[in-house]
Amino acid sequence: MGTALTIAVKRIHAPVGPGDGARFLVDRLWPRGVSKEKAALAAWLKPLSPSDSLRKRYHGDTADSDEAWDAFRRAYFAELDAGIEEARAALFVLDAAAAAGSVTLLYAAKSVERNNAVALRDWLRQR
Let me know: does 24 contact 45? Beta carbons within 8 Å: yes
Q: Please give the model's pTM, rounded to 2 decimal places.
A: 0.89
As a 3-state breakdown, the chain gives helix, strand, coil percent values, each rounded to 5, of 50, 15, 40
Greatest CA separation for the chain:
39
Q: Where are the domains of the chain?
A: 7-126
* Residue 35 phi, psi dihedral angles, 5° rounding: -80, 160
pLDDT in tens, 97-113: 999 999 999 999 988 99
Give the tens place of pLDDT for each residue, 34-58.
Answer: 999 999 999 999 999 999 999 888 8
Average pLDDT, the chain: 89
Does the pLDDT value for residue 21 go beyond 70?
Answer: yes
Residue 60 pLDDT: 58
Task: Say how far apart CA 95 and CA 101 lie, in whole Å.
Answer: 10
The DSSP bridge pattern shows strands 22-25 and 7-11 to be unpaired
62 has pLDDT over 80: no
